[in-house]
Structure formats: structure tokens, C-alpha cells
Structure 1
């Protein structure tokens, strides 16, 4: 990819010598005390860099340029890098010894370019105080890292210098030392922590070397840092990949945060007058009191409508998600300011003459870019069109992959299972296929899945994704999926429904109400089919606006029913808007006329980012597995998204373009198989295997104790579902997940509010400096 010209922002800062933490000072910090009680120790002193285990201390010179190459290998206490030393090495040996080794059963990626050195996924954390005289306790950063250890079990790195603390956990690919973080620039005035993969980093590295930058490592993390030196905040425009990173500039005392274009990697932010905290997962902020337990009920009302919380909101008032395609800059005087650096194309593009061949070429290029790895890579193969397209492209470019698919058992299995399609494709391309059994008794999974999510999240596909990730993660560190194909090529049933609904919306409202009332009389069939439920959604009367009609297809619980769900005391404090305000805002941002393009834009900005990608990241990273998504690649998206609606979809045929492009690659039955989606038969599970669980979690006594919901209304929802009068699986699953989440996050001991250490009071409300 050619590098587009971007205004130069070369930073020629002079070396900065940071003051050491006061020698021997003990902070009155319960977290630090807790670490000392476990036998840990923090030593501060001029020129002394320590691990928190006193027998693993390291003395390093403060001459930045002389020790730069050495310093790049690790994190810092007192401003210099230190790693976990023998503790991390022993963990690495345990992982790779004959007894604890991950089996490398995957075929090689022969014929594909390999990364020169290690790269790996991780989790990042950080805290910066507005007052430079108030140091960040190292134990706080350690506890944040401990909370996300699953994201990077192989390595840990810290940088603690006065009022700044950064940390990371790393899932290494190979060469443990080469990719360690935090990483500094040449004069050590800037330091970075990074989570993700940059697929074009080698090209960027060559350009930067030509411009005079000196590199101490071979990985992508240092490339981003030098790119930031060269181009400032505009550096993100040049990155191809998935990423969330933070750069601390000690000379300017600014913190720069960035998140990839689609939100593949997460980033949470808590900003207040005392300073700012950030983390890859909410649990890292919660572990040190940065969430403060104050619930944002307008955000939670949206959750009960959609099953997830769209960015920038979170369930807590004082924490926000940095939106996809956004950067943020924090400084101690002006708080936090955010900026959108990328959006989906607005202009329509003409289709090239050989469009179908071009689509295949674009797909193959993206898959090949995402296969760059030093370790074996696996694949998720549901049997659907998107994952089949990825696996077929891979198999044609290199040795056939090892793929994993879900096989359902028990009630409702026939409606969800696509094993026969996965087997057919595997046989055609010589793919090794492992079938992972999904049984309906998933009660033991609810708590670990909820803990992995951090937020209430009610997408039932979390169950098969968790089980597949656990199976894949036992043998691999990297896997490809077909996520993103439905948004790119218009593959959801709602996209067909949107076209039909445009005609239905032209009928008089009285006719719409009558038809909807008749549809509501239909009872659910004995099988697990969702046909009746989808028909009812389609026939709900709309107010005529495009975002409202589209929101109707996504809604688990309509506004009228949702208002009655809440207890009267809570109901009066809600705006009642749900997701409507957010959808209208995004619709106006894009500026496209009503139609498929607008719907796909809303899908990218809400459902894909905050449901599908969030789910895949949390479920996979809970098992230390890196998920790559070649169909969510900005170079591919920028080519396909601008194509006309009628090119992508027909009145009764979704993904028309993709199906035509792949007709020489995929078996006929794949091209004409009904859309199932990667979800389990949760409606039947709730009626049978999980009935006892949900009745316990939503028992009147528990609901009255919580004080949020009307027990009689919830009982009515349960009765409707059990009797098959209506399919209430969507809202019931949301209530179940919320109850389990509430128990874990708000009914368990937590750290005191972080702000109390500096301000003497807890954070209140949503800080004005949060990203919004």
C-alpha cells in the first residue's frame, strides 16, 4: 500500500531525565500494602530499577542513549525498564516444555511472508495524575495488570515514573525478549504500550529508517512509536491492522490514545479532575476503584433494548469506551479531547467491469495479510458463507488449515447446527476439522463468560464462541474467523427485511397497527425456529424514520414493554430514549439517504463493534487466543462498502455479490444454505435445561432486593416464554446476564474509589472530560 502524504510532525525533543521516586517512601496505599503482604517489595532510589521481588533487582544506568537498546527489553519502575525476570521465564518454559507445551498441530504457512520477529496480543493499562507531585503507586499498576493476565500470560511490563504508570500483559508469538513493552523512543522522551497487530509495519519501518529513525527491535510496537514521532496523531492513518495503544510524552506531559477503525481491540477510559486511567478491559479499572460503582441507567436501558451497550457508553457513569476510529489526547490542563480520524466512505463508487474477480482478489489479499505469523494459525469454520470464504482462500494460498466447528446437541440443536456444511468444505479442501460439542446445560459457563465480558452482554453466541475458543486456545495462539462478512456484503435477514419494510412503511399507520396486532397473536412453534419472532419484528409499526425502522429489527424489547419492566422509582429517572438517540446521531453523521447503505453503516458502528467484535475479543482472550478478522480490514472495506446497494443484495437474496464471486470456490449447498447465524438455540435452553437457573436468578425475592425491576412484569415474561405465547428469549437472556453480572461486579467486595486517595471523595456522575 502506498503511503499517502501526511503533514510532517517530527518531534525533536531533547532527552529528559525523570526524577526518581523518593527513596524509601511508603505510600499509604492498600493495594501496595497487599502486595508487600504477599512477600513483594518495592524499592525506590536514584538509578535503581527494581522488580517487585527483591532478589531480582536490576541496576541500570540512567544514560538514556547508552542503555537504549537494553532498555527496550522491558518495563520500568523508577523510570527504567524491568521485566518479570525468572518468574516470566519459568512460565515460558512451563508453557513450552514437553509437559506443558501447546501442541503445534497446525500445518505450516508455507508460501506466506513471516514476521521478522515476535509480535503478540496483549492487554494494556495506565494511570496518569494531573498533579505531577502525586506519584502513581506501582502496586496499583500491577493490580490492573493482574486483572487482565489472561490477555497476556507470557510476559508483563511496567513503567512507573512519578505521576505516570503504564503496564502491559503480553501473549508472545515467539522470541520473548524481542517484543517486550513498554518501549521507548531514542531519547526516552516517549513511551508506548500497545495491544494489537499491525500488518504493514515492515513497510512503515523501511520508510521511517529512511527518514533517520533508529530501531532497537524488529516488531510493530516500536514502529508505531516512531511513526507517532514523525507524524503525530495522524500516524494512525497509516496503520493497517487492529490496535489500541497509548503514548506518553514526558516532555509535553500529554497522553495520546488510539483505537483501530472498527473497534477490533477495546479501550476503556476513566477521566476526572485527578487525572486519567485507561485499560483494555473494564475489570482492570474496576480492580483499583476507577469504576466507582455508579450505574449509568440510560446505558443499561439501551442494553435491555439491544443486548449490548454501544460506545462510548459503559454500565458505569465514570468510564467510557473510546469509539472505533477515534483518538484522544489528555493533558493535565485541558482534560480529554477526542477526534474521529476515520469513517466509512460516504461516496458511492462504480463497480469495476470484472467486479466478481476483483472481490476474490481483494479477499485473498486480506486473508494472506492476516496469516502473517511465526506460529501455527487455526481457523473458526461455522459452515456459513463467511468463514467458508476465509478458509477456502487460505487453503488455496497455502497448506490447508486446521479448522474448528461447533456441533450442537440437545433441544433446538437442528436449528443451529451447520456441521454438515463445515464437513463438506473441509473434505473439498483437505482441511483438518475438529468438531467441538455444544451441550445445552451451560449453567457452569454463565459466570466465567460474564466475568470475561466486564459489561452486561446478552448475545447468546457467547456460549459456542467460548467453547470454541477454549478448544482452539488449548493448541493455538492465533485463529482466523469470518466475522464482518454480513456487514460488508449485507448478509443479515434484517437487510432483506429493510427492503421489504420500506414498502410496508408506506402503508397507513392504522393498517400497520392492525397487521402487527394479528401477528402478535401467533404462537411460537414447537421447534426452535425464530421465523414467527422475526415476522413480528418486521411488522411492528414504525414512525417512518430510517434509523427507527432499522432499530426495530434489532430490538429485543420494544420501548413500551421496556418501560413497564423497570420498578417505578427507576422508571422516573430514565430518559426512555434507549438506543434511538445514538442511532439518529450515527445516521446523521453518515449523511447517507435511507436504504441499505445507511443500515450497513449503523451495523458497523453499533452491532459489529460493540456486540460481535467485543464478544469475539473477550471470549478468545479469556483463553489467551488472538482472533484475526480478514473481512474487517479497512483496505477491503473501503473497496466494497461504496458499491451500490443493488450490487450487494437482491430483493430476496442477501450477499448476492459474495455468492456470485465465490461460486467457483464453494459447494453449491453453501451458496444456497439458509442463514442461521452463529448462535445456540437459547430459546429452547431457557425453556428446558436453563429453566431452573433463570427462575432462580429472576425470582421475585431477588428482584425486590435489587430494586430495579417489577417482579410481576418479569414473571409475565417468563410465563409468556414457557407457554410459547411469545418468544421472550432476547429480553430474558438479557435479564439473566445482567443478574449474573450484577452479582459479580456490585455484590462482591471491590477496591475503594480511586479518587478518594487524592480528592477525599468518590467520583460523581459522568466526568465532562470523558470521551463522548
Structure 2
């Protein structure tokens, strides 16, 4: 687990010299505190005599082959060089195959298998990998740079093509170290951020800077950049299976996925929230560990609606793990400036706060942790899937969305409770009259379109392009045409929310503390299997995750499957009315607020006032505005 960066250029004026490459690699030292490496060659030439310069930079967190596997690494004749961030879980099988075909290995690490596989089959090699990764390969023979990102987007990779120089890195701050790259904010990205609480791929907050989408490869050759997928699946295809067949196959796949992710030469543990997904992953890991108790870690809050640690302790006792609990207090958001620096661009998922602390405290005990991320998206676990399913049934039975006076519920006051009936009813009834994809966006978005229209200044509106942020989600939604509404929603989350939000959140928070987090649910074999399942095996009668219970119900307490679902958020709404009220006024309502050119002050004041008077719960909206304000102060000069 590491950080990578580098560049390719033709013009000598765009050369990346050793001091600049060091700045780029030092910017991500937290991702790899154990070692660093650099390789620069300013005299590469292609078959037509064209000149190229190449720089590869690397920071290492040692997990496998701790003493060896230094990077950048090269093949036997030095014709191919690579920097690599991540883990290849099937590297032993690949190595056996490659040694059989005559390749000589200089290390015991997983990365060298990628290098030799690329020699044999070129960019088709990435489809052979089971892992999480961001990879950069310089191919001297073809004078080309190849960038690749894992299928699900667990590892990030950014790039920018400015003139005839391509720069890349594991985090945006690598690119920000290069003059002339991160210069201009993209207004569309702000609009997208307020919609989704993240900036979706392939865009970033900076104009001209891109995220490589999950499952894609970028090839920079002869001055041209081509980005294309190397992996995909057809979400319209449903494979008929009996429950028994599905249970058996899921048991095989997930057990093998956990087995592969237990490979480590350093201490390993598991996040344990007390929810279904992390409990199952921990149970499978403990079964494979045998009598040696696995280390488990959970984090909670002093407000009961947000605290799951009692359930985590119950599971830990049931499994016999060595368990530790941590707690986040209201002053825990004092790390907001650290979050803004590490996440590089505005990222508004408030669960980054507990993820940050959980990663920090877990790293004190282990270097690798398993996580249950992906279970909700793969096996229909979110409450919003039930809301969407219910809205479809209601509209079929009678036109509830046309009922006179239904809009009056929007005037009802909210309260501090995370799961208040009024709050849920508001969101449900506001969306029920919309088409399915728009209806689903309504339950996802932070600022609805009407609120963004009120919030934006006239000057900012004029700077926005004609694209609607909804187009990102709509394009993904349409890929699963013909499937039931729950499958379409969960597949959409799998291809949008999962890589853009959850994977980003976990990667940045964990790597900020040099902790490697492995997510067995996101093995591509499990993902493809789950996407192909008939919905009745996962979701029925307003209940989700049925197949998980059928396959693994005997491994953890039954109460974990039947208890009310809780998210991994923080009680930000309550804290903004009490402990954190001064922070809101001192930032969002300050005379020198950086959001002023974008948002109407009177609208921001209204949101703050309504929230404090408990007329409406704007907690997550205020959090996203606060994040944006802090980001502008820190990154926008």
C-alpha cells in the first residue's frame, strides 16, 4: 500500500526535475512512510527519434515482502518500469504461471507479477488482477505511459494533460505541486458537490484535472491520451438461480475473498461496527484465523441514535475477538482542517470524521484492517431502496403523488433525531411524483435543485455550464434498463456512490494514518455475482440483505440481522445547534467568507437560522457548506 506520482513530457521547458519530483512524492509521504523511490530519464526516444522525459515517484507502506520490493521497479532488461499502489491478492497464482513461462523474479512482493504480466499481454494484464490498485507503467519499447485503476475504484488516481506533459498522482496534492496544473476551480464541480457531497468522476474540483474512472486504463502515446475501460459487466443481465445455489456460491466467493485478504507480513485486524457487513467479514476472518483472536475495532458517539458500539461488543464477544472501542466527542470535528487537506477537493460525507478516528486509533495496533464496505450496495441494504420500492407500489395502487395538500408536510418542523418519521416523510413525499431515477436522486442529494437555485448568486449561475449534475447518475441508472427498481438503484450506487464516496472516504482517511484497509465485499467476483442475482434473493417484503442472512446467519447473533439499521454518520445536526454553533457563525457567516461569490448570504443565513430554531434539519447541508468554505480558504489561495 503506497502512493505513486510522476510525469511524461516532450518539451524541455516542462521537465520534472528531481526537486519537483521530490515535492510531488513528499506531498503523499503519509501514504508510504516506510520508504521512497524515484526514477527520472530525460533522454527517452521513440522509433521516430522523438524525445521524451519520464519521471516516476513512489512512497511505500510495507505490507508484503517488507524488506524487498522497492519501487520504481523494472523488468529484467529495464525496458518496462512501474510504480504501483495497492495489493494484488492473486499474485501468487500469477507468479507461478509467469515463472513457468520463463520470467525471473527479483522480489517476493505482489507488484512484480504485474510488471511481467504486462510484458506478456500488454494492457490486457489488468483484467487478470484481483486486487485494489493504481498503477503507472512506462514502456520504453513503445514510448508510452499506461495508467490503470482497479475495477471498483478502491485506489484513487488523478491526472492532467497540460500541453505535451502528462502528470499523475495518487492524490490531487501531487498535481498541485506542479506549477500550472491546479489553477482554476471548475464551477460545475461546485454544483456537483452540493448535489452529491462529492465531485463525481471523471471530473475534479480543478478544471483540466481528471480522475481515472474505476476499471479504466489511460494510455499516453505519441502525444495523445486515450482513456478506455478494461473491465465492465452487463447490469441488464439477470442469472436465474435457486436460493440454495446462490447461498453456496456466495459462501465460496466471500470466504475466498477474505482468505486472500488475510495475506500480510504485518499485524492485521478488522473494523467492527456491529452492523451486518463488518460482522460477517470479521466472522469469516476469525474462522480462518483459527484459535488466535483477531483484533477488532469500533468507534461510537455519546448520542444513542448514532452509537452502534454496543452491537459491536456483542458480536466481538460472540466471535471471541480481541476488541477495542473508541468514542468521538463533539470536539472531534476539530480535525476538519486536516480532513480538508487530506481529501484535496471538497468531500462532504460527515462519516469521514469517525472513519478518520477509527483509522488513527486502529493504526496504533495494526497496519492492515478488513472492512465490510459494499454490503449495502451489493445486497440491497439501504433504507432508500425500501423507500423507492414502496413509492413504486403506492403509485401503482393510487396516485398518492397527486393528493391535494401533500406539500403541507414540508412545513412540519424537524427534530434532532436521526431517524425521525417527519424527516423521512418529507423526503419521501417530495420525491414520489418524480420519475424513478429523479426520485432516487432526491433521496441521495444534499441540496435539491430548487434549493441550489435559491442559493446561487446570479454571477455564479452565469458561470455554470449547461450540464445538469443529474446526468451523471442518470447515465448509470440507464445502464440497468429492464431490471427491477431495487436492482437499478443498488447497481447505480455500486457504480457511483461506492467508488466516489465510500471508497474515497476509506482510502483517504486510512492512508492519512498509513493504515491499509481491505474490503472483501469488493472483490470483483463478488460484485459481478451480486449484480446478476434476481432481486427476490436479496430483497423481499421491504427487507434487504436476505442472501447474506441465508448464507451466514448462523455465524453471528440473530439480533444483528433484525435490529434497526444505523448509518455511520455523526450527530452533526445536534452539534450545530449546540457545541459547534460558534464554528458555523465564525465561518459561513463571516464577513470574509470565501463562499460569498458563489452563494447568497441571505439564503445561507436562512438555512442557519432554520436549523438552529429546529424549523428544519439542515445539518448535512451546513456541513457541506462548511467543508466547501474551509476548502476554499485552504486550497484556493
- TM-score interval (norm. to shorter): over 0.9
Mapped partners of 2:404, 2:330: distance in 1: 38
Which SS does the other structure have where 1:168 is aligned? strand
Mapped partners of 1:511, 1:245: distance in 2: 49
Report the CA distance between 1:174 and its aligned residue.
5.7
Report the CA distance between 1:526 and its aligned residue.
4.5
Structure 2 counterpart of 1:402, from 292, 295, 306: 295
Which SS does the other structure have where 2:84 is aligned? strand
| Contact kept? 2:595, 2:629, Cα under 8 Å | no
Report the CA distance between 1:710 and its aligned residue.
0.4
TM alignment of 1:581-660, pairs within 5 A: 581-593=471-483, 595-660=485-550
In the alignment, structure 1 residue 379 sits paired with structure 2 residue 270: yes
Which SS does the other structure have where 1:258 is aligned? strand
Structure 2 counterpart of 1:361, from 221, 246, 252: 252
Residue of structure 2 equivalent to 1:339: 228
Mapped partners of 1:161, 1:181: distance in 2: 15
In the alignment, structure 1 residue 304 sits paired with structure 2 residue 194: yes
Mapped partners of 1:735, 1:671: distance in 2: 36
In the alignment, structure 1 residue 316 sits paired with structure 2 residue 206: yes
Which SS does the other structure have where 1:327 is aligned? strand
Report the CA distance between 1:380 and its aligned residue.
0.6
Structure 2 counterpart of 1:288, from 169, 178, 181: 178
Which SS does the other structure have where 2:554 is aligned? coil
| Contact kept? 1:277, 1:290, Cα under 8 Å | no
Mapped partners of 2:282, 2:484: distance in 1: 34
| Contact kept? 2:8, 2:165, Cα under 8 Å | yes
| Contact kept? 1:505, 1:544, Cα under 8 Å | no
Question: Which protein has the larger Cα radius of gyration, Structure 1 or Structure 2?
Answer: 1
In the alignment, structure 1 residue 720 sits paired with structure 2 residue 610: yes
C-alpha deviations, 1:663-692, integer Å up to 9, x for none? 211212101111101111111111111111
Unaligned runs of 5+ in 1: 1-120, 748-772
In the alignment, structure 1 residue 221 sits paired with structure 2 residue 111: yes
| Contact kept? 2:18, 2:40, Cα under 8 Å | yes
Which SS does the other structure have where 1:351 is aligned? coil
TM alignment of 1:402-441, pairs within 5 A: 402-409=295-302, 413-441=303-331
Structure holding more helix per residue: 2
C-alpha deviations, 1:277-332, integer Å up to 9, x for none? 00000011112235333111112101101111111111001111000011110124
In the alignment, structure 1 residue 142 sits paired with structure 2 residue 26: no
Mapped partners of 2:522, 2:595: distance in 1: 43
Give the number of equivalent residue pairs: 623
Question: For residues 526 and 259 of structure 1, do their structure 2 counterparts lie closer, same or farther at Cα, with a shift above 3 Å needed?
Answer: closer
Residue of structure 2 equivalent to 1:210: 100
Residue of structure 1 equivalent to 2:33: 153
Mapped partners of 2:416, 2:431: distance in 1: 27
Which SS does the other structure have where 1:540 is aligned? helix
C-alpha deviations, 1:697-730, integer Å up to 9, x for none? 1015133774111000000111111111111112
Mapped partners of 2:418, 2:527: distance in 1: 34
| Contact kept? 2:66, 2:265, Cα under 8 Å | no
Mapped partners of 1:738, 1:672: distance in 2: 38
Mapped partners of 1:527, 1:599: distance in 2: 26
Mapped partners of 2:241, 2:400: distance in 1: 41
Report the CA distance between 1:187 and its aligned residue.
1.4
TM alignment of 1:121-136, pairs within 5 A: 121-131=1-11, 135-136=15-16
Report the CA distance between 1:131 and its aligned residue.
3.2
| Contact kept? 1:348, 1:642, Cα under 8 Å | yes
| Contact kept? 2:484, 2:535, Cα under 8 Å | no
Residue of structure 2 equivalent to 1:453: 343
Question: For residues 133 and 308 of structure 1, do their structure 2 counterparts lie closer, same or farther at Cα, with a shift above 3 Å needed?
Answer: closer
TM-score, normalization by structure 2? 0.94
Unaligned runs of 5+ in 2: 43-52
